[in-house]
Amino acid sequence: MARLNEKEVISKIQSLRKSRRITLEELAKMTGLTKGYLSQIEHSTRMPPFSTLDKIAYALGVDITYFFIDSADEQVDSKITIVKPMERKKVAPGGLRRGYGYESLAYKKAGKNMEPYLITVDSHSVGSFKHDGEEFLYILEGTLEFIFGNERYILEPGDSVYFDAGIEHSGHALGDKKVKMLCIIYNYRRA
């Protein structure tokens, strides 16, 4: 499984913005982020959180997976794409440092409305998420304490949850075993 380094992702953000002749100020208006924050991202060595990267991708007219594929990979606008286990892309915008590991399961498909991931969560995961769209989780291994708004739920293998991703959510593994889950993010902005 290949993993693109964070500096390359940041470089792609800046290169794509400049190639489209979009100023930081214009991108700020398009994303709802501040010009200063966007400048900070472009001069950083670490990727922004997933939800921020998604806003930038949407504003620049690309799938979020654009930032994780290298020039040897090809996104295809076709009726079907297949990603074998060894071809998966490890993506972790801030994730690995926060206790979350993401593997993109459909990075080859261009123009998609859903983003499927295999996510690994450890017991030390920190932070919460809030972004446009809807999300579906299916627990494959381990036990997840899932926090949605002010509510807490215990999810075990075979359990699933479908929710409004615009409400703050997070989770962490209970016990010593990491949680593996299928996650599908649907962003209705793109539909």
Structural domains for the chain: 2-67 (1.10.260.40), 85-186 (2.60.120.10)
Q: Which two tokens stand for residue 134?
A: 């809807």
CB 35 within 8 Å of CB 82: no
Strand order in the sheet with 169-174: 151-155, 143-148, 169-174
Per-residue pLDDT of the chain (191 residues; tens, 9 = 90+): 444 567 888 888 999 899 999 999 999 999 889 999 999 999 987 778 777 888 898 888 887 778 877 655 566 667 888 888 888 877 764 455 567 788 889 888 877 888 899 999 887 776 788 888 899 999 999 999 999 999 999 999 999 999 999 899 999 999 889 999 999 998 766 55
| Stated pTM of the model | 0.74
> Strand, coil or helix: what is 13?
helix
Chain centre distance of CA 81: 19
Q: Looking at residue 45, what DSSP letter applies?
A: S
- Cα angle: 68, vertex 122, 70; to 5 degrees: 10
Look at residue 23 in the predicted model and tell me its pLDDT: 92
Residue in the structure block whose two tokens are 């649907």: 186
C-alpha 121/C-alpha 178 separation (Å) is: 6
In degrees and rounded to multiples of 5, residue 76 shows phi and psi of: -120, 135
- Quick check: 156 and 143 in contact, CB under 8 A? yes
Q: Alpha helices of the chain — where are they, by DSSP H?
A: 6-19, 24-31, 35-42, 50-60, 95-98
Q: Which amino acid is at 163?
A: F
15, containing H or E segment:
helix 6-19
Nearest to 134 by CA among 162, 115, 112: 162
